Structures are given as C-alpha cells and as structure tokens.
Amino acid sequence: MKLRPTDRAYGDLEALIKRPRDYANVSAAVKAIGGVGPPPGGKPIAVVNDQYDVYTYEPPGTGSTVIVLIWDPDDPGTAVFAGLWPDPDGSRRATKRVAAEAASAAGVVDPRVFVSG
C-alpha cells in the first residue's frame, strides 16, 4: 500500500516537523496505517461523490487531531494522505466539513459528502 501526500499534507507535515515529538507520532501512525490499509469491514466516516471512502485515524500524543485519508477506489492499494484535521468526534456537521475539506485537499472536484451512520 502507498500513501500519497497531498499539498495539504505537505503543509501539515512541514509545519509539524518543527515539533519533533508530534511529527514522530504522526509519522508512526501513518506508517502503521500503511501496514494495515482501511480497517477490514470498517465503516468510513463519510463517502464523497458516492465514490471516495473517508477514514480518520487517531495518532497518539497529538490531542484531538486526526489523520484523514481518502481511499482511491480505482487503486485500492493507494490512499491519499489528505492531512491533519481537528477530530470531528462524532459530530455530523464537523464530519461533513472535515470530509469535504479533506476531499478538496485530495483533489476531488466539487465534493458532495454523505456522512455515514
């Protein structure tokens, strides 16, 4: 599986590396995700344009920040690392906003978000 950073992710990572502990935690989380892929049988927090599954992952040590990944349905082995966002923590409105922002950052044009659950 590959993780392809977006411009947003580059920005997040470049800001984060100035705080080595936070960077190391996010790096460990991203590498762990790379070894696992989307959770088997897992439910995405949202689906964008009836096509892209959006998942959030909690890295350790970084408070209420989550890593947002957009899984590419045409290439199941590849996720777009959309970047870091505040944890929507179950709020439908926040989930919709995070998924839309992440999808835009990942290059999805005119994202229409369906929040799962």
Asked if residue 10 binds other proteins (CB under 8 A), the reply is yes
Asked if residue 112 binds other proteins (CB under 8 A), the reply is no
User: Regarding beta strands 46-48 and 65-71, do their DSSP bridges make them parallel or antiparallel, or are they unpaired?
Assistant: unpaired
Cβ proximity to other proteins, 11 vs 101, nearer residue: 11
Q: To the nearest whole angstrom, how small is the minimum distance from the Cβ of residue 18 to other proteins? A: 7
Q: Which spans in 40-117 are helix H?
A: 92-105
Whole-angstrom distance, CA of residue 63 vs CA of residue 54 = 20
Nearest to 29 by CA among 72, 71, 81: 81
Nearest to 98 by CA among 39, 32, 46: 46
Q: Which amino acid is at 92?
A: R
Q: To the nearest whole angstrom, how small is the minimum distance from the Cβ of residue 5 to other proteins? A: 5
Q: To the nearest whole angstrom, how small is the minimum distance from the Cβ of residue 4 to other proteins? A: 6
Out of 52, 71, 81, 85, point to the residue binding other proteins (CB under 8 A).
81
Asked if residue 107 binds other proteins (CB under 8 A), the reply is no
Contact 76, 53 (CB under 8 A): no
Q: By the criterion CB under 8 A, which residues form the site for other proteins?
A: 2-5, 9-10, 13-14, 17-18, 20-21, 23-25, 27-36, 39-43, 57-61, 81
